[in-house]
Chain A
């Protein structure tokens, strides 16, 4: 039995992963904004086999609340073995271009809030000399594109932050996993036409579980996004800037 904290727990990807944890009989504490969803999800995970499930509603932008929320999580579960951070929003790129306040809000949700949580979690795990920190970043953070560079920049910040954190925590035996999904069919992407490259959240969840068990550092999911991103990163900037991506 593992004690797992899931932040942004109601995300489709996080929930699919939580169901796999439940099937193993893990203990979970869930954090997300929507109380109605958390309540339903907690009941469901319990019936699916979780040892116990507790939750708190919070907005990741209330940075001041983070330490108290993490304390509470640690108290109810009697410790935290794995922290999975999954919350996120897909910014309206055009709105962000027109108004910096939009950008600020999105960067706060997708990067600053995560960094605040990571700062606190890292210190807790470092003191205990163990644990896994798994964070959902995105392939979008591998290269900026005109269609979603605000989101991409926030994810890139997380990716780099995690690289440093992994480097720092390596000697303490704390594992840091960066998860980079490609296109996933979830509420976040409801308005996109879906094609061959799209994956279901259950598929991503399986990869996350495997990557955690195998103590991986970085995982692209589904796997084919790794060669795709190698290719995209290799296009020289003078050419890349002309593409309509």
Chain B
């Protein structure tokens, strides 16, 4: 069947197997000639990480098999989604430690991309709270690993983009909460300098992310809204109800151009009047504003879109960010959703994306001139010692990848040692020379 991921580019023909038990999955790998394949969760990665002619869907490995009410330690199958966990556990007073900007992803996908959220600067990635995970290797063997047992396999699997094996289940800690509501503070920054200063000033706040207008130039280059947040403790553990809106068809691609986006960004920025404003907001719109619009990826039209997310080290911060932002503003390539965040320290996972510094994520509609333009940006990012997020990528070159991820050889070595390199392959891994 036709298969694509969140960016809707590329679309490929793929055969998908969705095993209902680990034993059923094992028979695939013990068969004489096992065909290369890639594990897949809910397909919320933007590019080709979860695409291959043969895919293994975790959708039926979706059971919660353990929960300790006192410690918040949970064990569940890789196909369970973060949304399901929140529906079940928020009313009982538990939240996730690290959550990305959508809850519609699987636990397996959260591990394989080693996802980060608004709390990365204090709490690190999703893997930070994993106690143990179970992996099916390329020969059907099931191995448990953690930072203590088979640590190299654990560090290769977290952030390993499905290239070490199929994650079957994981045991991880949930965060205790006393309310489902958050005190959100919005700060207005008139330019990049102000934005970075504000981010630093609020680095003790648990959640922090900035929306940045990447089309403004000159003295307004990098004007942004910084949103910080902290759970309150008022005892309301309610879930947001209500049907999500939907984008029912593909919007014509031409509707998104520098004029419409500039108008949107200007309105969005000026909507906030004071330099600092505060209100209480439910966690759902705070963390997952886009989940309330189903299939919003359709606004980019049939040709699809991509997200360009890079990180540059802290030392390169202001200068690097200004250089890249100027280049984007100059190009006039619009992006509604440009998100700026400061990362805390990186971790020991070979291919984990975050490093201490600044990350920026921008959506671009795919058109003819886009990839050459992004290749130009790649050079600037690499020159400042940065790299691109694999989970969003659909086009970076092998050399861009290898320069940005100096531990790629150690990763390959582990993959080879566990016999994964010939079995688990995606369009992305082939492109990146893994």
Q: Chain A interface (Cβ within 8 Å of chain B)?
A: 10, 12, 34, 36-37, 40-41, 43-44, 47-49, 187, 190, 193-194
Contact = CB atoms under 8 A, between A and B. Distances in A.
Contact of B21 (A34, A43, A47, A190): A34
Contacts of B88: 47-49
Contact of A41 (B23, B63, B66, B67): B63
6 contacts: A12-B60, A40-B21, A43-B64, A43-B65, A47-B67, A49-B88
A52 B17 CA distance: 32
Given A36-B21, A48-B88, 12 more contacts: A34-B21, A40-B63, A41-B63, A43-B63, A43-B65, A44-B64, A47-B64, A48-B64, A49-B88, A187-B20, A187-B60, A194-B1
Contact of B65 (A44, A190, A193): A44
A233 B18 CA distance: 34
B21 A44 contact: no
A187 B18 contact: yes
B174 to A, nearest CB: 12
B335 to A, nearest CB: 32
A57 to B, nearest CB: 13
Contacts of B17: 190
B101 to A, nearest CB: 24
A210 B77 CA distance: 28
A231 to B, nearest CB: 25
Contacts of A43: 63-66
A14 to B, nearest CB: 13
Contacts of A36: 21, 23
A100 to B, nearest CB: 29
A11 to B, nearest CB: 10
B151 to A, nearest CB: 28
Nearest to B16: A190
Give the size range of B's interface with the partner: 10 to 19
B338 to A, nearest CB: 34
Please list the 9 inter-chain residue pairs (A to B) with the smallest Cβ-Cβ separation, ordered nearest first.
A44-B63, A43-B65, A47-B64, A40-B63, A47-B67, A44-B64, A36-B21, A193-B1, A187-B20
Interface string B136-173: 00000000000000000000000000000000000000
A36 B25 CA distance: 13
A12 B18 CA distance: 12
Most buried by A among B23, B63, B66: B63
Contact of B20 (A10, A47, A194): A10
Contacts of A12: 60
Nearest to A48: B88
Contacts of A48: 64, 88
A37 B88 CA distance: 21
A186 to B, nearest CB: 9
A47 B66 CA distance: 7
Interface string B1-42: 100000000000000011011010000000000000000000
B168 to A, nearest CB: 11
Nearest to A23: B88
Nearest to B92: A49
A49 B89 CA distance: 11
A175 B88 CA distance: 31
Contacts of A41: 63
Given A36-B23, A48-B88, A190 B18 contact: yes
A145 to B, nearest CB: 23
Nearest to B23: A36
Contacts of B65: 40, 43-44, 47
B21 A37 contact: yes
Contacts of B1: 193-194
Nearest to B65: A43
A36 B23 CA distance: 9
A190 B24 CA distance: 14
B23 to A, nearest CB: 6
Interface in B61-85: 63-67
A109 B66 CA distance: 34
A40 B66 CA distance: 10
Most buried by B among A12, A47, A193, A194: A47
Contacts of A40: 21, 63, 65
B77 to A, nearest CB: 8
A48 B88 CA distance: 7
A47 B18 CA distance: 24
Contacts of B18: 187, 190
B70 to A, nearest CB: 14
Nearest to B21: A36
B353 to A, nearest CB: 32
A241 B66 CA distance: 54
Nearest to A200: B59
A14 B1 CA distance: 26
A129 B22 CA distance: 43
A84 B1 CA distance: 33
A48 B74 CA distance: 12
